[in-house]
Amino acid sequence: MNRLVYNYSFSKHIPVDDLEDSLMIAALAAEALHGRAAMKQDAYFCLDKKARTCVVDAETPVGCDIAKILSTFVTKGYGESSFKIERVEEHPGNRKLLCAIGAIL
């Protein structure tokens, strides 16, 4: 079964630690909205620090909120041209889908 995800790619001028912090704060904010149980069940995201990419599951309201919050943080901090985001279908077996909640590579 294919799965909808948000694929982010970030400019080199954004410090990787800032990306990680923004993603973790976005996840924390989503947890405040949806609760811890929903985060454990429905929040899947992965940041690849080396590749400067991030994947956020787009199948659930929790994932959509994480993506919205992350996009807002990065836009406000570094501008709209500092990242690209695509909503795409990923196929089963793709490594990105194997990332668990809060995975940082």
Q: pLDDT tens digit string along 56-75?
A: 988 999 999 999 999 999 99
Q: Is the pLDDT of residue 1 over 50?
A: yes
**AA identity, residue 12:** K
Which residue, 66, 46, 53, is CA-closest to 12?
A: 53
| Res 98: pLDDT | 45
Q: 10 Å Cβ neighbour count for 98?
A: 10
Q: pLDDT tens across 8-63, in order? A: 999 999 999 999 999 999 999 999 999 999 998 888 898 999 999 999 988 999 99
d(CA 32, CA 36): 8
List the beta bridge partners of residue 87.
Answer: 6
Is 44:100 a contact under the CB 8 Å cutoff? yes
Q: 10 Å Cβ neighbour count for 94?
A: 13
CATH 1.10.287 matches 3-104? no
